[in-house]
């Protein structure tokens, strides 16, 4: 879909500018015609000559460059583009775009163009979380701009968190998807997103099962994968209900956050949202058992008591309950396993009557509960299998990636299967 597409690639100041060289290469290889615009800050990190060599076109750096004006002025450049992608998009550039400023070539082009404008934010995690940046991001989305990312993980400054620019390959894939959704350059406010008008309900994080008012049984789930899926579903156009156990991360803007503690609370909230739910994704790490009777007061250690015996009872199976409900939505489960991952996941897919299941190995420290990375296998029952009792199993196994990047790929898979099941 990128063949012949006229892409205007903008770079603002940031260490992530080096990734845009690879993005340029991917675009040119796919047949796109690429012209590059760089701010003064971007040129401090990478030389314009790099992009001239990769794109095969002169790089534009000044609003009133007489040489550029003689060939293609800034208005003509704005009209030329089929789409504009700014990667990296710094906090400063986002603020200036949100304010409607036109004080350099980049911001002037964005005001003057009628093409789709996509931004790949890149900044320190504290800058991204700052209320001013979050407000600017929401404002830009109301203008019709599309934000790609940011990703989470280690940053050049040594911090860890959201704010990393997506990898070039991920941005390229999203540009292809954007181009595929619209064969002509239109404002992305007019672009139909795959889950537009649909409602996605997700569970995320751990549950806490009370032993007494100060103690509980829980697990190591951070909620990162579920929260990333909620953000990706929102960006795909869905209305999102995020039913979350206790976590230490901020919910994405624009989703309906429902905070719960126990498995019973999570089931109750899930059932309340079921009538309006089209897709249910059970990403939470729900405790399998809870104490039979939680004490009303803090349990005291008794003299001479060397052990304490707790009687546990089984918690309700949330995803199985949803999958067997008369108002059953398209239901996706997770299988967090430590051994024989795929076989356990297929067993769960069948036993719980799921449409899809996403399996991952939580015994690995690099992709476990608190990691920013993940590697999964998506499994589903193939339609038209000869024996319904032992159907053929479809598989999709994306490369290991950050949970943010992986969430977008998973939502694409889920939406494709959901829409196919409704045709």
The mean pLDDT of 214-226, rounded to a whole number, is: 91
Could you give the residue ranges of the DSSP H alpha helices within 306-402? 318-323, 341-351
Own/partner contacts of 130-137, CB < 8 Å, gap of 24 or more, are 130/91, 132/95, 133/91, 133/94, 133/95, 134/253, 135/98, 136/91, 136/94, 136/95, 136/97, 136/98, 137/94, 137/253
Structurally, at CATH architecture level, domain 6-181 sits in: 3-Layer(aba) Sandwich (3.40)
- Whether a cis peptide bond, with omega within 30° of 0, leads into 232 is no
pLDDT of residue 69 exceeding 80: no
Percent of the chain predicted with pLDDT > 90: 49
State the residue for tokens 């304490």: 308
Residue 313: partners with Cβ closer than 8 Å, 6 or more residues away: 289, 290, 291, 292
Q: Give the separation between CA 113 and CA 116, rounded to whole angstroms.
A: 8
CATH classification (class only), 199-296+306-421: alpha beta
Residues of the chain with CATH 3.40.50.10300: 199-296+306-421
pLDDT confidence of residue 215 = 92
Known binding-site positions: 288, 298, 316-319, 334, 348, 352
- DSSP string covering 33-55, please? EEEEEE-HHHHTTS-HHHHHHHH
pLDDT of residue 279 exceeding 70: yes
Helix axes 168-181 and 403-421, enclosed angle (nearest 10) = 30
Q: Give the separation between CA 223 and CA 82, rounded to whole angstroms.
A: 38
Q: Give the separation between CA 340 and CA 355, rounded to whole angstroms.
A: 21
Q: Which of 87, 24, 82 is nearest to 57 (CA)?
A: 24
Geometric angle at alpha carbon 300, from 295 and 302, rounded to 5° = 125
pLDDT range class, residue 383, cuts 50, 70, 90: confident
Known binding-site positions for CTP: 288, 298, 316-319, 334, 348, 352
Q: Give the separation between CA 112 and CA 209, rounded to whole angstroms.
A: 56
pLDDT confidence of residue 387 = 63
pLDDT confidence of residue 334 = 94
pLDDT of residue 121 exceeding 70: yes
Q: Which of 238, 195, 243 is nearest to 223 (CA)?
A: 243
Confirm whether 157 is a catalytic residue: yes
**Exposed, middle or buried by CB within 10 Å (0-12, 13-18, 19+), for 184?**
exposed
Residue 387: partners with Cβ closer than 8 Å, 6 or more residues away: none
pLDDT of residue 191 exceeding 50: no
Are the CB atoms for 12 and 41 separated by under 8 Å?
Answer: yes
Q: Give the separation between CA 252 and CA 172, rounded to whole angstroms.
A: 23
pLDDT of residue 70 exceeding 50: no
pLDDT of residue 126 exceeding 90: no
The backbone torsions φ and ψ at residue 140, rounded to the nearest 5 degrees and listed phi first, read -65, -35
The mean pLDDT of 3-18, rounded to a whole number, is: 91
Q: Give the separation between CA 200 and CA 238, rounded to whole angstroms.
A: 6
Choice among 5, 110, 157, 264 that is catalytic: 157
pLDDT confidence of residue 309 = 87
The backbone torsions φ and ψ at residue 230, rounded to the nearest 5 degrees and listed phi first, read -60, -45
pLDDT confidence of residue 189 = 39
Task: State pLDDT tens for residues 232-257.
Answer: 999 888 999 999 999 998 888 888 89
Task: State pLDDT tens for residues 322-363.
Answer: 999 999 999 999 998 778 888 999 999 999 999 999 998 877
**Where in 105-198 does DSSP place strands (E)?**
116-121, 146-147, 151-154, 160-164
Residues of the chain with CATH 3.40.50.1950: 6-181
Helix (H) or strand (E) holding 401: strand 401-402
Give residue 289's Cα distance to chain centre.
30
Helix (H) or strand (E) holding 139: helix 131-142
pLDDT range class, residue 166, cuts 50, 70, 90: confident
The mean pLDDT of 155-178, rounded to a whole number, is: 81
Residue 330: partners with Cβ closer than 8 Å, 6 or more residues away: 278, 279, 280, 355, 414, 417, 418, 421
Q: Which of 367, 147, 349, 133 is nearest to 236 (CA)?
A: 147
pLDDT of residue 67 exceeding 70: no
pLDDT confidence of residue 188 = 40
- pTM (two decimals): 0.58
């Amino acid at each position: 879909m990128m063949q012949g597409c006229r892409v205007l690639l903008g770079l603002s100041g940031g260490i992530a500018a080096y990734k845009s060289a690879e993005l340029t290469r991917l675009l040119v290889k796919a047949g796109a015609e690429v012209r590059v615009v760089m701010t003064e800050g971007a040129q401090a990190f990478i030389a314009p000559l790099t992009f001239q060599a990769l794109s095969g076109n002169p790089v534009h750096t000044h609003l009133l460059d007489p040489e550029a004006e003689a060939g293609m002025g800034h208005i003509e450049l704005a009209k030329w583009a089929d789409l504009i992608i700014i990667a990296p998009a710094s906090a400063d550039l986002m603020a200036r775009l949100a304010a409607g400023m036109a004080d350099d070539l980049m911001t002037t082009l964005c005001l003057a163009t009628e093409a789709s404008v996509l931004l790949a934010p890149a900044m320190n995690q504290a800058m991204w979380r700052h209320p001013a940046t979050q407000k600017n991001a929401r404002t830009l989305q109301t203008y019709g701009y599309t934000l790609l990312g940011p990703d989470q993980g280690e940053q050049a400054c040594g911090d860890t968190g959201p704010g990393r620019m997506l990898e070039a390959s991920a941005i390229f894939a999203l540009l292809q998807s954007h181009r595929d959704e619209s064969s002509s350059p239109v404002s992305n406010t007019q672009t139909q997103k795959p889950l537009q008008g649909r409602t996605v309900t997700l569970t995320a994080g751990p549950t806490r099962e009370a032993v007494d008012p100060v103690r509980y049984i829980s697990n190591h789930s951070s909620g990162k994968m579920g929260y990333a899926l909620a953000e990706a579903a929102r960006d795909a156009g869905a209305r999102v209900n995020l039913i979350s156990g206790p976590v230490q991360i901020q919910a994405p803007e624009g989703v309906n956050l429902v905070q719960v503690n126990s498995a019973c609370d999570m089931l109750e909230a899930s059932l309340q949202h079921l009538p309006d739910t089209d897709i249910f994704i059970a990403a939470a790490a729900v405790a399998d058992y809870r104490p039979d009777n939680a004490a009303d007061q803090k349990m005291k250690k008794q003299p001479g008591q060397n052990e304490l015996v707790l009687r546990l009872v089984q918690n309700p199976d949330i995803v199985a309950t949803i999958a067997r409900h008369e108002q059953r939505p398209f239901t996706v489960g997770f299988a967090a396993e430590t051994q024989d991952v795929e076989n356990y996941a297929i067993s769960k897919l069948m036993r719980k009557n799921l449409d899809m299941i996403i399996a991952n190995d939580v015994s690995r420290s690099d992709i476990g509960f608190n990691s920013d990375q993940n590697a999964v296998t998506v499994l589903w029952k193939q339609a038209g299998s000869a024996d319904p009792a032992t159907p053929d199993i479809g598989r999709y196994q994306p490369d290991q990636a950050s949970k943010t990047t992986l969430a977008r790929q998973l939502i694409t898979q889920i939406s494709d299967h959901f829409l196919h099941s409704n045709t």
